[in-house]
Amino acid sequence: MQIKRRTFLGTTLVAAASLSAPAALGQARPRVVVVGGGAGGATAARYIAKDSKGEIDVVLIEPTRRYYTCFFSNLYIGGFREMSSIGHGYGKLASDYGVNVVHDYAIGVDRDAKTVTLAGGGSIGYDRLVLSPGIDFKEGSLPGWDLSAQNAMPHAYKAGSQTELLKAQIEAMPVGGTFCMVAPPNPFRCPPGPYERVSMVAHKLKAENPTAKILIVDPKPKFSKQALFEEGWQNYYGGMIEWIGPDFGGDAVEVRPDTMEVVIDGTVEKVDVCNAIPAMKAGHIAALAGVTNDAGWAPVVPASMQSRMDENIYVLGDACHQGDMPKSGFSANSQAKVCAMSIRGALTGSKVFPAKYSNTCWSLIETDDGVKVGATYKATEEKIAKVDGFISQTGEAAGLRKQTYEESLGWYAGITADMFG
Amino acid sequence: MRALTILAVLVFAASSDGAVAETGDAERGAKVFRQCVSCHQVGEAAKNRVGPHLNGVFGRLAGSVAGFRYSDHMKRASADGLVWTFETLDAFLENPKSLVSATRMSFRGLKKAQDRADILAYLRRYSDKPSDIPESEPTLHLGGPDLDPAVLALQGDPDYGEYLSSECTTCHQADGSSQGIPSITSWPAENFVVAMHAYKQQLRPHPVMQMLAGRLSDEEIAALAAYFGGLD
C-alpha cells in the first residue's frame, strides 16, 4: 500500500508553510514530529504516513542526508560489504509517503509549547513527538577518552566516517601489531556487536596480517552469544584473540590516546589500533527533552512506547528503557510499529491492537558462518517482557550456518525497505 | 514469487483425519507405493530418478542424498534441519507443500492416514537404523499439521492481517522480492495457513518462524494469509 506522489504535492506544501504553527490550533492536520531517521524513527515516520493515508502530517528531523546503518557496518570492516551498500537516503519517504524530511539537528524540546527547536534556527510544533535519537556516550565513563580523542581511538559505534577510519587504521597496522577493543559496559547498543566486530577484524587480519593480535578488554563477565563466538574464534582464529574480562582487570581500564596505550588494572599495554567503545546513554535530545532517568535512558510505557514522563512524547530504540528487548535495529523497528499504531489511534481514532514485539540479531563469525539469537516479547505493566526465544547452537552444520548468513542478507534487504520505503 | 503462482494450481489436501493412531501394514504399503514409483525408487540398486532414492530415508536429513539436485526450497528445509522422521514424513506425504513450500514433488498428497502409515511401514524396511525397523518402534501416527477443518475454513480479515504483517515485513519484503528470505506474497491462503501451522506445531524446523508462528492464533494466521495473499 503505497501513497502516490500526486496525493501529496498539495498537502506537503501546506505543511511546509505552516511549520512553525502548532497544529493543535485546529486549522491543520495533526502533526507528528519524529527526531532521528534510523531504524526506529524512519520506520515510525513511514508507518504513520503510510497508514494514516494523509490524515497526519509527518515531519522527520534527521541531520544526515545519507544514513549508514550500524547493523552490517561490521561486515564492511570485514570486507563483506561496501560502505555504499549500507547507506540509505530519505527520498522515498518524501516522494512516496509524503514525509516532510528536514535535515537539521533538534537541539531542544519545549514540552509545554509542544515545539522542537532546530539548530538551523526554526522551531516546529507537534501534536505528538517521537524521539528516536540512538545513543551518545557517557562523558568520563572511559578514563582518558573523550570525543576529542575519537580519531586516535575511534568508537565506530555510529556508522560512517568512524567506521571507515577504524578500517583504515586496521589496514595500516604494522606486521604483528596489536588491535585492542575496549568493550562497553551494559546496557549498550547491539549486544553482539563488539564481538561480531572482533570476528570481522580477525577475518581481515588473518588474510592481511596473520601474526597480529587482538585484545578485548571487557568490563562484563559474560557477553551475547559468547559460546558461539568463542567456538568460532577457536576454530578460525586460534591464538589470535585474547579476551580480558573483569576477573583480570577488564573493568579497570584507562586509555592514553596520545601514546596509544591502554592501561589494564595498572599494566600498560602499547597498542597499534584502539577501538574504544565507552559507556552509552540515550541520544542527548532525550535528556534535553527531560524524559531520561538517572541512568541516562528514557523510560517508556510498554504497551505504547510513550514516555513515562510525557504522554505526548514517544521514545524508540536504543534510547529507551523498556525492559527485556536488546538495543538493536530490529527492536527499534518493532517498537516503531507499535508506536505508529498508538499515535494513529490517538490522533485519528484508528483501531489500536495489542502490542507485539520481536527481535532477531544475526552475527557473522567468518565467511558463510552466521549465527542468530531472537525472542518475542509482550507488554506488561512493568516492562516489555520476554515471552519466548531461541539461539543458534554450537557445533551446527556448515550448511545451516551458511543459510543463517544468507538469511541475514535477506533480513537486511527487508528491514531497510521497511524503514526507507 | 512467480514459482509460487504454480502452487495455486496444485490440488491441496486438507488434514482431517484427526489424531487417531494408525498402525502401518508394510505389505499393503508396497501396493500404495506403486503411485510413487514413477519418480522414486527404493530397495536394492535403487537410483535417483525424478526424485531421490528412498533407501535409509528414516532419520535422514532432508535434501541430503548425494548426487540429487534438490529445489531451493528443499535445500532451505535441509539447512534448517528438517529430518525425516515418522511425523515429518507423514506430514509431507499428506501434503508436501505444508512442509516444503515449493518442493518439486508435485504430488497432491495422501489423504488417508492409513495409506500413509502403510507406505511408511513399507519404507522402513529400507531404512537401516535399528530404531527404524517396524518391530522396534510402532509406526504410530502422531498427526500433523493437525488442523481442524474449521481452522482451514476461517475467513481472515485482511485489514487485521495488514496490521499483523508489520511483524513479518521486518524480514519478508512486502513487494514480494526475496533475497535470502522467501517471498510470502500471493500465496493461496490454504498453503499459507498450513505452512504457518506446520511451524506452530514445530513440524517445519526454522526457529524464528516456529517462535513467531507459535504465538499467532488461528484467526491471526487466517488474517495474515488473507492480507499477504492479496499482495502482488
- Domain span at B113: 13-132
This prediction's pTM? 0.80
From B132, B159, B185, the end of a domain falls on B132
Percent of chain A with pLDDT over 70: 94
E strand segments, A87-138? 87-89, 100-102, 106-110, 115-118, 123-125, 128-131, 135-137
Tell me: do B21 and B124 sit in the same domain. Answer: yes
pLDDT for A27 beyond 90: no
Q: Half-sphere exposure (CA, 13 Å, Cβ side) for A157?
A: 31
- pLDDT grade for B174, boundaries at 50, 70 and 90: confident
ipTM strictly over 0.95?
A: no
Q: Is A410 near chain B, with CB under 8 Å? A: yes
- Least confident span in A289-293, A295-299, A402-406, B199-203: B199-203
Tell me: do B87 and B159 sit in the same domain. Answer: no
B180/A407 Cβ within 8 A: yes
SS3 state of residue B100: coil
pLDDT for A21 beyond 50: no
Superfamily of domain A140-278: FAD/NAD(P)-binding domain (3.50.50.60)
Query: What does the domain layout of chain A look like in residue ranges?
Result: 5-136+281-352, 140-278
Cross-chain CB nearest to B79 (options A330, A400, A411):
A400
**Residues A327, A332, A333, A339, Cα dihedral to 10°:** 150
The residue among B165, B170, B179 with the most chain A CBs within 10 A of its CB, best to mutate, is B170
pLDDT for A2 beyond 70: no
- Residue B102: inside a domain, yes or no? yes
CATH architecture observed for domain A5-136+281-352: 3-Layer(bba) Sandwich (3.50)
Winning range, highest mean pLDDT, from A5-19, B117-131, B136-150, B202-216:
B202-216
The predicted pLDDT at position B22 comes to 57
A334/B169 Cβ within 8 A: no
- pLDDT grade for B56, boundaries at 50, 70 and 90: confident
Q: Which of residues 153-192 of A touch B (CB under 8 A)?
A: none
Higher pLDDT, A268 or B45: A268
A410/B181 Cβ within 8 A: yes
Q: Which of residues 64-83 of B touch A (CB under 8 A)?
A: 76, 78-81
The predicted pLDDT at position A14 comes to 41
CB contact set of A211 (below 8 Å; sequence gap of 6+): A175, A176
Domain total for chain B?
2
The predicted pLDDT at position B18 comes to 37
Percent of chain B with pLDDT over 70: 83
The predicted pLDDT at position B176 comes to 84
Residue pLDDT, tens place only, B134-165: 433 333 334 457 788 888 889 999 988 998 99
Q: Is A345 near chain B, with CB under 8 Å? A: no
Alpha helices for chain B (secondary structure H): 2-7, 26-32, 72-80, 86-94, 96-99, 113-124, 149-153, 158-165, 189-200, 207-214, 218-229
Percent of chain A with pLDDT over 90: 92
Tell me: do B71 and B173 sit in the same domain. Answer: no
Cβ–Cβ under 8 Å, residues A202 and A168:
no
Q: Is A12 near chain B, with CB under 8 Å? A: no
- Residue B142: inside a domain, yes or no? no
The predicted pLDDT at position B98 comes to 86
Tell me: do B121 and B190 sit in the same domain. Answer: no
- Strands of A123-125's sheet, edge to edge? A106-110, A115-118, A123-125
B178/A390 Cβ within 8 A: no
pLDDT for A20 beyond 80: no
Q: What are phi and psi of A371, to 5 degrees?
A: -130, 165
Q: How far is B156 from chain A (nearest CA, A)?
A: 16
Tell me: do B37 and B112 sit in the same domain. Answer: yes
Q: How far is B47 from chain A (nearest CA, A)?
A: 24
Average pLDDT of every residue of chain A: 94
Residue pLDDT, tens place only, A154-195: 999 999 999 999 999 999 999 999 999 999 999 999 999 999
Can you tell me the mean pLDDT for B50-78?
Answer: 90
Cross-chain CB nearest to B170 (options A330, A353, A397):
A330
Residue pLDDT, tens place only, A110-152: 999 999 999 999 999 999 999 999 999 999 999 999 999 999 9
The predicted pLDDT at position B187 comes to 83
- pLDDT grade for B37, boundaries at 50, 70 and 90: confident
Distance CA A89, CA A76 (A): 18
The predicted pLDDT at position A61 comes to 98
The predicted pLDDT at position A323 comes to 98
Q: Is A150 near chain B, with CB under 8 Å? A: no
The predicted pLDDT at position A69 comes to 98
Cross-chain CB nearest to B170 (options A341, A399, A418):
A418
Cell numbers representing residue A143 in the block:
578514563
pLDDT for A6 beyond 70: no
Q: Is B37 near chain A, with CB under 8 Å? A: no
Pick the closest to residue A90 from A41, A48, A37, A49 (CA basis).
A37
Instruction: Give the CATH number for residue B155.
Output: 1.10.760.10
User: Beta-carbon neighbour count of residue B146 at 10 Å?
Assistant: 16
Winning range, highest mean pLDDT, from A287-301, B11-25, B38-52, B191-205:
A287-301
The residue among B171, B185, B204, B219 with the most chain A CBs within 10 A of its CB, best to mutate, is B171
Cell numbers representing residue A1 in the block:
500500500
A408/B80 Cβ within 8 A: no
CB contact set of A402 (below 8 Å; sequence gap of 6+): A368, A369, A370, B79
